[in-house]
Structure 1
Amino acid sequence: MEESNISLEAMDQQFDGGAPPTGYYPPTAAPSLHRAPLREVRPLSVDQVLDQTEEDMTPASARNKPVRSVEVQQKIANLKVWSINTYKCSKQVLNEKLGRTTKTVDPDMEKKIETLLDTQSKYNRILTLAKSLNTHMYNLLQTQRSLAELFSELSFKQPGLQTSFTTSANTQKSLIKNGDKLLSAIRFFIDSLDTLVNKTIQDTVLTVKQYQSARVQFDAYRNENEQQALQSPTMGCTPNGAGVSSPATGTIPNSASDNNLEQHKSRFELLHRDVDIKLKLLDENKLKVMTRQLSLLEAAMASFMSGNAEELDSVIKEFKVKVTEPVPPSFLELR
Structure 2
Amino acid sequence: MNDGQLEVMEESTGYYPPTTAPNLHRPPLREVKPLPVDPAIAHPEDADSGHSKNKAVRSVEMQQKIANLKVWSVNTYKCSKQVINEKLGRTTKTVDPELEKKIEILLDTQAKYNRILTLAKSFNAHMFNVIQTQKSLAELFSELSFKQPDLHDAFTSNANTQKSLVKNGDALLSAIRFFIDAMDTLVNKTTQDTVMTVKQYQYARVQFDAYRNETESSLGSEATTHSTAPNGTSPTTTTHGTMSSSESDGNLEQHKSRFETLHKDVDIKLKLLDENRVKVMTRQLTLFETALAAFMSGNAEELDTVVKQFKVKVEEGEAPSFLELH
Q: What TM bracket, shorter-length normalisation? A: 0.7 to 0.9
Aligned equivalent of 2:312:
321
Structure 1 residue runs without a partner (length 5+): 1-18, 33-50
Of residues 255, 274, 277, the one that matches 2:268 is 277
Which among 233, 241, 250 is matched to residue 234 of structure 2?
241
Please state if 1:208 is matched with 2:207: no
1:21 is the counterpart of 2:44:
no
2:183 aligned residue = 193
User: How much is the aligned-residue C-alpha RMSD, in angstroms?
Assistant: 2.8
Indicate how the Cα distance of structure 1 residues 306 and 22 shifts in structure 2: closer, same or farther if over 3 A, else same. Answer: farther
In structure 2, distance between residues paired with 1:95 and 1:66: 43
Kept after mapping to 2: 8 A contact 1:145/1:176:
yes
Relative to total residues, which structure has the larger helix share, 1 or 2?
2
| % identical aligned pairs | 68
Q: Determine if the alignment matches structure 1 residue 332 to structure 2 residue 323.
A: yes
CA deviation vs aligned residue, 1:199-229 (integer Å, no higher than 9, x gap): 0000000000000000000000010011111
Any stretches of 5+ residues in structure 2 without a counterpart? Answer: 1-17, 31-40
Which of 296, 299, 303 is the aligned partner of 2:287? 296
Q: Distance in 2 between matches of 1:20 and 1:124?
A: 107
- Selected match of 1:151 from 141, 153, 171: 141
Are the structure 2 counterparts of residues 235 and 173 from structure 1 closer, same or farther at C-alpha, using a change threshold of 3 Å?
same
Q: Is the 8 A contact 1:235 1:245 kept in 2?
A: no
The count of residues paired between Structure 1 and Structure 2 equals 296
In the alignment, the residues of structure 1 paired with residue 92 and residue 19 of structure 2 have an alpha-carbon distance, to the nearest angstrom, of 111
Deviation of residue 26 (structure 1)?
2.8
Q: Is the 8 A contact 1:134 1:187 kept in 2?
A: yes
1:264 and 2:255 are equivalent in the alignment = yes
Alpha-carbon distance between aligned partners in 1 of 2:76 and 2:29, rounded to the nearest angstrom: 82
Give me the TM-score of the superposition, normalised by structure 2. 0.84
What is the CA distance between 1:270 and its match in structure 2?
0.2
CA distance in 1, matches of 2:294, 2:208: 56
Partner of 2:299: 308
Q: CA deviation at 1:152?
A: 1.0
TM-score (norm 1): 0.81
Residue 91 of structure 2, aligned match among 69, 91, 101: 101
- Deviation per CA, 1:272-292, whole angstroms, max 9, x where unpaired? 000000000000000110011
**TM superposition shift of 1:53:** 12
Does the Cα contact within 8 Å between 2:138 and 2:158 map onto a contact in 1? Answer: yes
Alpha-carbon deviations, 1:122-145, whole Å to 9, x = none?
000000010011100100111111
CA shift for structure 1 position 60: 5.1
The answer to whether the 8 A contact 2:127-2:173 is kept is yes
CA spacing shift, 1:142–1:245, aligned 2, 3 Å: farther
Equivalent residue for 2:10?
none
